[in-house]
């Protein structure tokens, strides 16, 4: 075991032997090396038995890498450290001891689809309408209860607001009873049941407290309440607990992670030794300065400053685009330059964005230029369920013989046409040699199905016929609007009201933009658009020896690194996301998300933002992200595309002549496009305004046209959200 390559702070963390230890490890500071070297040092130098060491991380990949590194450092024969994820560790414990909780140790583990099936059964028994209370939403609330280490008996329904959360609290014990009847646990149960064992059975807790003399937890900033409780229960005896993490990289609040866990660690564990790893081995100093300048604005953080012995490096390049197409073309051009001139492989560069919907234009531009790419952590835009569903309606309207598309949508949204009824119609079609649509129409006379199903089929056929009439009018945008409306798809997503459903709405909004652009490009017919979409959806993964360019969300990129990184969509409303502007904690998490994205880059970092974006087929003006205000001039060059000094954005620093010669000049939106500019001022998501009564606020959303524009504005307490008419509110744009 060679510790010579460790820096002084890393060495202190590795050799610390007794008592609680918190290692605040900045991005790229070598935390994995510290954890593995610490495990090896405990075994070799401190003579700690390998199987009395418990190391916990969050992903199987990280656990596997940790095991491999430890094996390479030590010649372990026989016992070895417990290195696993939280869920794997808890499963191991439960397989041995769950009988204490009344389950058999051969219990099943239900995945998300199993859970959904079970919750629907429970709702039916309890007489809860799935239309009024979406099952996925109720499951989400139950999961949140479990992540907070709350069993049904711990809840206080009287203190809950009316709605989905209260209904979920009432359904929680019914759901748990059904799981037990099936001798099954869901994913969250693995954690909370292990916690219950250690909390409710002191002898068992004492046994494992004695066993694990040293506990190490990686990515501690990502722990939720039940994970924190588990660690507390397991470390009571020896108190040799080492946590490694970075509060500046806490970006999973939406799935239960609590940044307070790392911030309060010192108070919960008196006598904690704190070691900061601030030397970065990944990035240039300019990249670190840009990232640090953004995140240091957060109040809820531990002070740290990343530095490096690497070169200062090239300045960060911030590009102001006309619109999302110009933005994507700039990214594409730079990627080609870096590949051609600097020898960067495509798979050593990455494009990062805040929402999945942003990938659509990027994919279109990359495909047109022949660049190999892959959407990481998600599907290509045209392969996403909501996009395929809506396009399936349009394909059936265009080609009634397309039985595959018809079968996909006949019960989406759910409209009561069951599997048995559909099978009867399909058998009839096979016998008579007719299409599925013809068989469905014949059902009115043949009465193959029960009357109730027959009525639902007739209603569905009416939807298809109405859409066909709209299609014959020749406007694809109008057809798309009516598909989402008349099918009930939009209403279904609205009722779900989950993070997932909101993301699907964003993707459908982007589909409007895709159709609009297709029309502008001269592909004005429905057939042309569907053909183009099909080519994208069916594009094979390119096998290129130079690698494939990864596209991913900022949440997905954590733990990765690349020579060059492009962070696109740096505008108020995207990053920071509009949903965060009314919540200070979420707003700080958006800063951390930005920090994580920036620090993925080793050598070069590019930031882009657009003056306009097409949302839901309409053109909106956007302001540059407020986060850009924090980045000093000396580390960032700002360029724009064909803007005059009058149209250049007003934020810190100046623009340096660099407009792309190839970029066309800015064109005013068509008269029928939605423009935010009104006689009363210019508004966009993120615009700061002043009201005579409510004070200063931030625009969260816009609706209406130029003559009747309304704004949803968030004001400071006690006012909160207000919907205001621009023509009457007398707002001042700040």
**Among all residues, which ones are annotated catalytic?**
31-32, 218-219, 249, 600
CA-based R_g, the chain, Å: 28
Asked if 73 and 40 touch (Cβ cutoff 8 Å), the reply is yes
**What is the number of alpha carbons within 13 Å of residue 74 lying toward its C-beta?**
22
Buried-exposed string 667-683: b where 16+ CB fall within 10 A, e elsewhere = eebeeeebbbebebeeb
**What is the number of alpha carbons within 13 Å of residue 597 lying toward its C-beta?**
30
Asked if 725 and 710 touch (Cβ cutoff 8 Å), the reply is yes
| Angle, helix 489-496 to helix 476-486, in steps of 10 degrees | 50
Interatomic CA distance for residues 588 and 486, integer angstroms: 40
Asked if 552 and 513 touch (Cβ cutoff 8 Å), the reply is no
C-alpha to C-alpha distances, 721 to 57, 715, 717, 729, nearest whole angstrom: 40, 6, 9, 14
C-alpha to C-alpha distances, 39 to 147, 490, 565, 579, nearest whole angstrom: 29, 53, 33, 42
Q: Which of 405, 451, 445 is closest to 428 using CA atoms? A: 445
Interatomic CA distance for residues 274 and 17, integer angstroms: 13
Asked if 212 and 52 touch (Cβ cutoff 8 Å), the reply is yes
Residues 269, 197, 115: CA angle, nearest 5 degrees: 110
DSSP character string of 479-542: HHHHHHHHTSHHHHHHHH-SHHHHHHHHHHHHHHHHHHHHHHTT--SHHHHHHHHHHHHTPPPP
All residues at 6 or more sequence positions from 704 whose CB lies less than 8 Å from its CB, including other chains? 710
Q: Is the peptide bond before 718 cis (omega within 30 degrees of 0)?
A: yes
Interatomic CA distance for residues 497 and 107, integer angstroms: 32
Interatomic CA distance for residues 19 and 239, integer angstroms: 6
Helix (H, G, I), strand (E, B) or coil at 566: strand
Tokens of 330: 């700039």
Question: Which residue is listed with tokens 């949440």?
Answer: 555
Interatomic CA distance for residues 350 and 711, integer angstroms: 36
**What is the number of alpha carbons within 13 Å of residue 662 lying toward its C-beta?**
5
The dihedral through the CA atoms of 429, 432, 437, 440 has a sign that is: negative
Interatomic CA distance for residues 508 and 486, integer angstroms: 15
Question: In 39-131, where do the E strands start and end?
Answer: 53-57, 82-85, 108-110
Asked if 274 and 24 touch (Cβ cutoff 8 Å), the reply is yes
Interatomic CA distance for residues 65 and 38, integer angstroms: 15
C-alpha to C-alpha distances, 114 to 101, 103, 118, 402, nearest whole angstrom: 22, 18, 6, 31
Question: In 116-257, where do the E strands start and end?
Answer: 184-186, 214-217, 241-245
Helix (H, G, I), strand (E, B) or coil at 4: coil
Asked if 102 and 92 touch (Cβ cutoff 8 Å), the reply is no
> Cβ atoms within 10 A of the Cβ of 198, count?
22
All residues at 6 or more sequence positions from 40 whose CB lies less than 8 Å from its CB, including other chains? 1, 70, 73, 74
Interatomic CA distance for residues 351 and 640, integer angstroms: 19
Tokens of 128: 């809860």
């Amino acid at each position: 075991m060679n510790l010579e390559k460790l820096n002084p702070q890393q060495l202190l963390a590795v050799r610390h032997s007794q008592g609680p230890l918190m290692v605040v490890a900045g991005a790229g500071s070598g935390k994995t090396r510290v954890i593995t070297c610490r495990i090896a040092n405990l075994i070799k130098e401190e003579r700690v038995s390998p199987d009395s060491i418990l190391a916990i991380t969050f992903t199987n990949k990280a656990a596997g890498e940790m095991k491999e590194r430890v094996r390479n450092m030590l010649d372990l024969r026989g016992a070895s450290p417990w290195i696993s994820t939280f869920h794997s560790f808890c499963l191991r414990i439960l397989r041995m001891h769950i009988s204490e909780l009344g389950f058999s140790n051969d219990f099943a583990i239900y995945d998300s689809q199993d859970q959904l099936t079970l919750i629907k059964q429970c709702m039916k028994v309890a007489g809860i309408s799935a239309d009024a209370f979406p099952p996925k939403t109720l499951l989400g609330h139950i999961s949140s209860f479990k992540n907070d280490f709350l069993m049904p008996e711990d809840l206080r329904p009287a203190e809950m607001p009316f709605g989905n959360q209260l209904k979920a609290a009432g359904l929680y014990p019914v759901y748990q009873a059904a799981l037990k009847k099936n001798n099954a646990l869901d994913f969250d149960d693995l954690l909370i049941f292990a916690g219950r064992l250690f909390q409710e059975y002191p002898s068992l807790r004492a046994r494992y407290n004695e066993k694990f003399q040293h506990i190490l937890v990686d990515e501690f900033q990502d722990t939720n309440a039940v994970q924190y409780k588990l660690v507390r229960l397991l470390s009571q005896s020896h108190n040799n607990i080492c946590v490694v993490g970075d509060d500046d990289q806490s970006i999973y609040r939406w799935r239960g992670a609590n940044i307070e866990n790392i911030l309060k660690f010192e108070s919960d564990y008196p006598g904690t030794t704190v070691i900061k790893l601030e030397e970065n081995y990944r990035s240039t100093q300019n990249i670190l300065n840009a990232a640090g300048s953004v995140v240091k604005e957060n109040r809820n953080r531990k002070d740290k400053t990343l530095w490096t012995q690497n070169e200062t490096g090239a300045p960060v390049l911030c590009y102001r685009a006309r619109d999302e197409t110009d933005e994507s073309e700039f990214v594409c051009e730079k990627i080609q330059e870096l590949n051609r001139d600097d020898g960067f492989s495509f798979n050593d560069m990455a494009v990062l964005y805040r929402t999945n919907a942003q990938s659509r234009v990027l994919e279109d531009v990359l495909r047109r230029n022949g660049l190999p790419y892959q959407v990481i952590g998600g599907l290509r835009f045209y392969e996403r369920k909501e996009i395929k569903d809506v396009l399936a309606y349009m394909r059936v309207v265009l080609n009634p013989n397309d039985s595959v598309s018809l079968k996909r949508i006949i019960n989406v949204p759910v409209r009561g046409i069951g599997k048995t009824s559909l099978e009867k119609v399909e058998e009839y079609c096979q016998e008579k040699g007719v299409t599925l649509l013809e068989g469905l129409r014949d059902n009115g006379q043949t009465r193959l199905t029960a009357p109730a199903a027959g009525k639902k089929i007739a209603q569905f056929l009416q939807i298809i016929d109405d859409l066909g009439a709209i299609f014959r009018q020749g406007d694809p945008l109008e057809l798309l609007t009516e598909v989402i409306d008349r099918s009930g798809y939009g209403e279904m997503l609205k009722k779900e009201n989950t993070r997932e459903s909101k993301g699907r709405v964003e993707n459908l909004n982007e589909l409007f933009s895709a159709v609009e652009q297709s029309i502008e490009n001269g592909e004005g017919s429905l057939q042309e658009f569907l053909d183009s979409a099909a080519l994208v959806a069916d594009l094979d993964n390119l096998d290129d020896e130079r690698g494939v360019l990864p596209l991913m969300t900022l949440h997905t990129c954590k733990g990765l690194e690349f020579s060059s990184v492009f962070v696109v969509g740096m505008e108020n409303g995207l990053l920071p996301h509009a949903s965060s502007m009314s919540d200070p904690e979420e707003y700080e998490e958006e800063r951390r998300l930005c920090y994580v994205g920036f620090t993925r880059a080793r050598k070069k970092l590019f930031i882009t933002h657009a003056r306009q974006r097409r949302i839901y087929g309409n053109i909106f003006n956007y302001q540059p992200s407020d986060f850009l205000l924090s980045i000093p001039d000396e580390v960032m060059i700002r360029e724009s595309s064909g803007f005059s000094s009058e149209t250049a954005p007003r934020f810190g620093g100046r623009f340096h002549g660099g407009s792309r010669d190839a970029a066309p000049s800015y064109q005013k939106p068509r008269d029928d496009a939605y423009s935010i500019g009104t006689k009363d001022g210019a508004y966009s998501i993120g615009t700061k305004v002043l009201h005579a009564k409510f004070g200063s606020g931030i625009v969260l959303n816009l609706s209406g046209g130029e003559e009747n524009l309304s704004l949803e504005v968030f004001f400071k307490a006690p006012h909160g959200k207000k919907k205001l008419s621009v023509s009457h509110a007398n707002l001042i744009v700040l």
